[in-house]
Amino acid sequence: MTTTADYSEKIPNNVSLHEDRRLQRALESWQPNFLDWWRTMGPTLPTQDVYLRTAVNVGREGWAQFGHVAMPEYRWGIFLAERDPGRRVGFGEHKGEPVWDKVPGEYRADLLRLIVIQGDTEPASVEQQRNLGATAPSLYDLRNLFQVNVEEGRHLWAMVYLLHAYFGREGREEAEELLHRNSGSADAPRILGAFNEETPDWLSFYMFTYFTDRDGKYQLGTLKESAFDPLSRTCEFMLKEEAHHMMVGTTGVDRVVERTAQVMAENDTDDVAALGAIPLPVIQRYLNFHYSVSLDLFGGETSTNVANYYTAGLKGRWSEDRRQDDHTLADDSMMVDALVDGEIGELEVAALTGLNTDLRRQYINDCRGGVNRWNKILADAGLPQRLTLPHIAFNRRVGAFTGIEASPDGRPLTAGEWQQRKGEWLPTEVDKTYVRSLMRPVHERGKIAAWIAPPRNGINGQPFDYDYVHLA
């Protein structure tokens, strides 16, 4: 396998696709269906071309080229990270054995399920974001949206390649289903709940790319540890692209908070809605919603399925090679979040069954970094207000806290209290209507909407006022 992508092929790739004509024909027959999906469910704003990065290799010396590309002509491809010929399984009962180049029969169903679930999230986010271009606050932001979209499309290709190459007819059928399900559909929704939620405005988009794409980072990180080497190498390369998506979210929220802080300081008021900025309580409610929904993506606090995935070598832990234990966990225990006699607390469980909690805690610690960034912006503006992450039991619909309601500070609530007060903590219709009222497009080069601060840096060394997008 070479690290440089072959762009002479109909499907750019670095997996020597031309050497397997049957697989090549199967993927080339799927390609028109993908393009039909992109035309019908992808971005709705007409463009001539967009300043995009395109993968050209996966090595350490650089992997992307930038240039203006007509989005329907973007060269979606199949790229796996470089193969380590000496790589061995790092955890579970196969620890120390050579990694697998083929799917072991006893793990086929589980691997298929993991790949399908990951694959289903990729087109879902494109569908959720398809109308955002019409209300972009600047051409810089519009370009970033489209970069996220085309890379989510490429991540779909990454999973579809694995399905076609390693799972036969069943894999091909699952690849077709990835295009038939649609975000929010009543008849054929996406598999995970967060990917059926609306992304109707740019504050939602920034929160989604900060919180929900960050979940994607951690899920990909566990699959990167997989003993199934093609999956591991696929996810390793996807993580490079995922970093940009999280940058869009992190700096997007940065800039919303910065602009709100500026308006508050300049006018000596907390009530900035009349001045065209987004009030901090509204930002907090959006944060609460997207964070809590993203926590659900990690599943229940305990899971025998995840324990089995780990023992089998299918899915590891975040930064598995940095863990100071035996990497089998057969005799270990851990504390997990739980309801104990009706109270929010913790229980001791076998470490293997608590791996969802372990991953969720890694994610929570990472999310705190963003909140610290945003609070530094407020502090630098001389403001006393601070943003916070809500309690892990707040607004949960998956796991140990599904059957209860809790306030953002972790106080258990009756159903009546929740109904009476949830508008203090989650976006209300008034909030959503106000935020949508600010979503007026700014498609003029070098200009930006009044509710968000400009970025500190452009893309690939270009200035903010570069012609990132040419509209049709």
Q: What would the pLDDT profile of 268-309 be if each residue is shown by its tens digit?
A: 999 999 999 999 999 999 999 999 999 999 999 999 999 999
358 CB-contact burial (10 Å; exposed 0-12 / middle 13-18 / buried 19+)? buried
Distances in Å between the Cα of 41 and the Cα atoms of 127, 186, 367 are 6, 16, 30
**CA–CA dist 225, 357 (Å, integer):** 18
pLDDT band at 432 (very low <50, low <70, confident <90, very high): very high
* Distance between start and end Cα atoms, the chain: 39
Q: Is the distance from CB of 76 to CB of 150 less than 8 angstroms?
A: yes
Measured CA angle at 219 (ends 146, 256), to 5 deg: 45
pLDDT band at 61 (very low <50, low <70, confident <90, very high): low
**CA–CA dist 14, 22 (Å, integer):** 17
- For 351, the token pair is 């470490």
Q: Is the distance from CB of 421 to CB of 413 less than 8 angstroms?
A: yes
- For 199, the token pair is 């992304």
- For 365, the token pair is 């610690």
- The candidate with the shortest Cα–Cα distance to 202, out of 457, 451, 471, 429, is 451
Q: Which residues lie closer than 8 Å to 345 by C-beta, 6 or more apart? A: 337, 338, 339
pLDDT higher than 60, residue 2:
no
Is residue 433 left, alpha or beta, with left meaning phi > 0 and alpha meaning psi from -120 to 50?
Answer: alpha
Q: Residue 395 is which amino acid?
A: N
**CA–CA dist 253, 258 (Å, integer):** 8
**CA–CA dist 62, 85 (Å, integer):** 22
**What average pLDDT does range 218-223 have in this prediction?**
98
- Choose the weakest-confidence range: 78-82, 276-280, 429-433: 78-82
Q: Is the distance from CB of 282 to CB of 387 less than 8 angstroms?
A: no
Q: Is the distance from CB of 15 to CB of 1 less than 8 angstroms?
A: yes
Within 13 A of 416's CA, how many CA atoms are on the CB side?
0
pLDDT tens digits, one per residue of 172-212 = 999 999 999 999 999 999 999 999 998 999 999 999 999 99
Report the interhelical angle of 280-296 vs 355-380 (nearest 10°): 170
- Report the DSSP beta bridge partners of residue 53: 66
Measured CA angle at 253 (ends 251, 256), to 5 deg: 110
Q: Is the distance from CB of 361 to CB of 257 less than 8 angstroms?
A: no
Global confidence as pTM: 0.96
Q: What is the mean pLDDT of the chain?
A: 96
